[in-house]
Structure 1
Amino acid sequence: MSPSDDAKEASDGARRRRRRSNTLLLVLAVGFLIFGAAAGALYYVLRPVTLRIAVGPPGSDDHKVIEAMARTFASESRTVRLSLVTTDGAVEALGLLGAGNADLAVGRGDLEMPADAQTVAIVRKNFAVLWAPSELAEKSSKRKPVPKIQEIGGLAGHRVGVIGRTPANAALLRVILSASGVDADKVAETQFGTDQIEELARDPTLDAFMAVGPLDSKITADAIAATVRSRGEPKFLAIDASEAIALKYPRYESEEIPPSVFNANPAWPDDKVETVSVSHLIMARKALSETTAAAFFRQLFAVRQAIASQVPGAAHVTKPDTEKDTGLPVHRGAAAVIDGTERTFLDKYGDYFWFALLLLSGIGSAGAWLRHYFNRDERQENTKHRATILAMVSKVRTAESDQELLAMQREVDAIISETLECYDDGAIEEEELSAFSLVLELFNHALVERRAALRANTPESARGAATGNSFTSQR
Structure 2
Amino acid sequence: MPKGHAPRLVFWVAVLLFALAAALSLFYYLSPRATLRITTGPAMSPAQRTISTFIHVVSGSHPFIRIEEVPVADLSASAKALEDRKVNLAIVRTDVAPPSNGQTIAILRRDVVAIVLPHGSPIKDAAGLARKTIAVPEGALQTENQHALDDILAYFDVPAASVKRLVLPLGEIGPAMRAGRVAAALAVGPIGPGQAVDVVASIAKAMKSPPQLLPMDQADALVKRFPGFESVDIPEGTFKAHPPVPDDTVKGLAVTYRLVAPFSMLNVVAGAIGRSIFKTKAKLAALSPGGTQIEAPDLDAQNPLLPVHPGVAAYLASGDQSFFDSFQQYLYIIGIPLSLLGSLVAVLLGLWNNRRLVQDQNRVFRLLTLADEALTADSAGLERIETEFRGLVADCVNKLADGETAADQYPVSSLAIDHARRSIERRKDGLRAA
Category of TM-score, reference length = shorter chain: 0.7 to 0.9
CA distance in structure 2 between the aligned counterparts of 1:435 and 1:83, rounded to whole angstroms: 67
CA distance in structure 2 between the aligned counterparts of 1:178 and 1:23, rounded to whole angstroms: 77
Is residue 342 of structure 2 the alignment partner of residue 366 of structure 1? no
Which residue does the alignment assign to 1:32?
15
Aligned pair partner of 2:99 in 97, 109, 114 = 114
Name the amino acid aligned to 1:192.
Answer: V
Is residue 173 of structure 2 the alignment partner of residue 200 of structure 1? yes
Which residue does the alignment assign to 1:289?
266
Name the amino acid aligned to 1:32.
Answer: V
Aligned pair partner of 2:111 in 89, 104, 126 = 126
Q: Is 2:151–2:226's contact at 8 Å kept on the other side of the alignment?
A: no
CA distance in structure 2 between the aligned counterparts of 1:186 and 1:84, rounded to whole angstroms: 37
Is residue 231 of structure 2 the alignment partner of residue 254 of structure 1? yes
Aligned length, in residue pairs: 391
Aligned pair partner of 1:85 in 45, 64, 70 = 70
Task: Quote the offset at 1:368 in angstroms.
Answer: 2.7
CA distance in structure 1 between the aligned counterparts of 2:273 and 2:25, rounded to whole angstroms: 19
Aligned pair partner of 1:336 in 292, 308, 314 = 314
User: Which stretch of structure 1 is more off in the superposition, 51-60 or 124-133?
Assistant: 51-60
Q: Is 1:201–1:227's contact at 8 Å kept on the other side of the alignment?
A: yes
Q: Is 1:97–1:104's contact at 8 Å kept on the other side of the alignment?
A: yes
CA distance in structure 2 between the aligned counterparts of 1:151 and 1:350, rounded to whole angstroms: 59
Which residue does the alignment assign to 2:49?
64
Deviations 1:118-149, CA, capped at 9 Å, x for gaps: 22211100101222113xxxxxxxxxxx3343
Which residue does the alignment assign to 1:408?
none
Which residue does the alignment assign to 2:296?
319
Q: Is 1:379–1:428's contact at 8 Å kept on the other side of the alignment?
A: no
CA distance in structure 1 between the aligned counterparts of 2:358 and 2:56, rounded to whole angstroms: 66
Which residue does the alignment assign to 2:79?
94
Q: Structure 2: 5+ residue runs without aligned partners?
A: 377-392, 419-434
Aligned pair partner of 1:347 in 299, 306, 329 = 329
Q: Is 2:107–2:294's contact at 8 Å kept on the other side of the alignment?
A: yes
Task: Quote the offset at 1:223 in angstroms.
Answer: 1.5
Task: Quote the offset at 1:106 in angstroms.
Answer: 0.7
The structure-2 alpha-carbon separation of the partners of 1:82 and 1:176, relative to structure 1 and needing over 3 Å to count, comes to: same
Name the amino acid aligned to 2:363.
Answer: E
Q: Is 1:320–1:330's contact at 8 Å kept on the other side of the alignment?
A: yes
User: Which stretch of structure 1 is more off in the superposition, 111-120 or 209-218?
Assistant: 111-120
Is residue 163 of structure 2 the alignment partner of residue 188 of structure 1? yes
CA distance in structure 2 between the aligned counterparts of 1:228 and 1:428, rounded to whole angstroms: 97
The structure-2 alpha-carbon separation of the partners of 1:115 and 1:218, relative to structure 1 and needing over 3 Å to count, comes to: closer
The structure-2 alpha-carbon separation of the partners of 1:237 and 1:43, relative to structure 1 and needing over 3 Å to count, comes to: farther
Q: Structure 1: 5+ residue runs without aligned partners?
A: 1-18, 135-145, 395-414, 441-475
CA distance in structure 2 between the aligned counterparts of 1:103 and 1:298, rounded to whole angstroms: 16
SS class of match (2:295): coil
Aligned pair partner of 2:192 in 216, 226, 233 = 216
The structure-2 alpha-carbon separation of the partners of 1:370 and 1:435, relative to structure 1 and needing over 3 Å to count, comes to: closer
Q: Is 1:80–1:295's contact at 8 Å kept on the other side of the alignment?
A: no
SS class of match (1:52): strand
Task: Quote the offset at 1:267 in angstroms.
Answer: 1.6
Task: Quote the offset at 1:51 in angstroms.
Answer: 0.8
CA distance in structure 1 between the aligned counterparts of 2:304 and 2:164, rounded to whole angstroms: 28
CA distance in structure 2 between the aligned counterparts of 1:290 and 1:271, rounded to whole angstroms: 43
Task: Quote the offset at 1:270 in angstroms.
Answer: 1.7
CA distance in structure 2 between the aligned counterparts of 1:229 and 1:93, rounded to whole angstroms: 37
Which residue does the alignment assign to 2:285?
308
Q: Is 2:360–2:409's contact at 8 Å kept on the other side of the alignment?
A: no
SS class of match (2:165): strand
CA distance in structure 2 between the aligned counterparts of 1:429 and 1:388, rounded to whole angstroms: 24
Task: Quote the offset at 1:236 in angstroms.
Answer: 1.8
Aligned pair partner of 1:264 in 236, 241, 250 = 241
Give TM-score, length-normalised by structure 2: 0.77
SS class of match (2:99): coil
The structure-2 alpha-carbon separation of the partners of 1:40 and 1:330, relative to structure 1 and needing over 3 Å to count, comes to: farther
Deviations 1:378-436, CA, capped at 9 Å, x for gaps: 32331134446768999xxxxxxxxxxxxxxxxxxxx9xx99x97xx784799999999
CA distance in structure 1 between the aligned counterparts of 2:86 and 2:316, rounded to whole angstroms: 27
Q: Is 1:293–1:334's contact at 8 Å kept on the other side of the alignment?
A: yes
Is residue 364 of structure 2 the alignment partner of residue 382 of structure 1? yes
Name the amino acid aligned to 2:253.
Answer: V
Is residue 140 of structure 2 the alignment partner of residue 157 of structure 1? no
The structure-2 alpha-carbon separation of the partners of 1:346 and 1:262, relative to structure 1 and needing over 3 Å to count, comes to: closer
Which residue does the alignment assign to 1:171?
147
The structure-2 alpha-carbon separation of the partners of 1:346 and 1:219, relative to structure 1 and needing over 3 Å to count, comes to: closer
Aligned-residue RMSD, C-alpha: 3.9
The structure-2 alpha-carbon separation of the partners of 1:351 and 1:118, relative to structure 1 and needing over 3 Å to count, comes to: closer
CA distance in structure 1 between the aligned counterparts of 2:297 and 2:23, rounded to whole angstroms: 35
User: Which stretch of structure 1 is more off in the superposition, 47-56 or 166-175?
Assistant: 166-175
SS class of match (2:215): coil
Q: Is 2:136–2:166's contact at 8 Å kept on the other side of the alignment?
A: yes
CA distance in structure 1 between the aligned counterparts of 2:129 and 2:406, rounded to whole angstroms: 100
Q: Is 1:105–1:282's contact at 8 Å kept on the other side of the alignment?
A: yes
The structure-2 alpha-carbon separation of the partners of 1:288 and 1:346, relative to structure 1 and needing over 3 Å to count, comes to: closer
Deviations 1:171-216, CA, capped at 9 Å, x for gaps: 322333344x4524475141526xx012222222211112011111
The structure-2 alpha-carbon separation of the partners of 1:364 and 1:248, relative to structure 1 and needing over 3 Å to count, comes to: same
Q: Is 1:80–1:296's contact at 8 Å kept on the other side of the alignment?
A: no
User: Which stretch of structure 1 is more off in the superposition, 337-346 or 120-129?
Assistant: 337-346
CA distance in structure 1 between the aligned counterparts of 2:186 and 2:291, rounded to whole angstroms: 24
CA distance in structure 1 between the aligned counterparts of 2:327 and 2:259, rounded to whole angstroms: 26
SS class of match (1:222): helix
CA distance in structure 2 between the aligned counterparts of 1:347 and 1:78, rounded to whole angstroms: 24
Name the amino acid aligned to 1:31.
Answer: A
Which residue does the alignment assign to 1:403?
none
Give TM-score, length-normalised by structure 1: 0.71
Name the amino acid aligned to 1:61.
Answer: P
SS class of match (2:217): coil
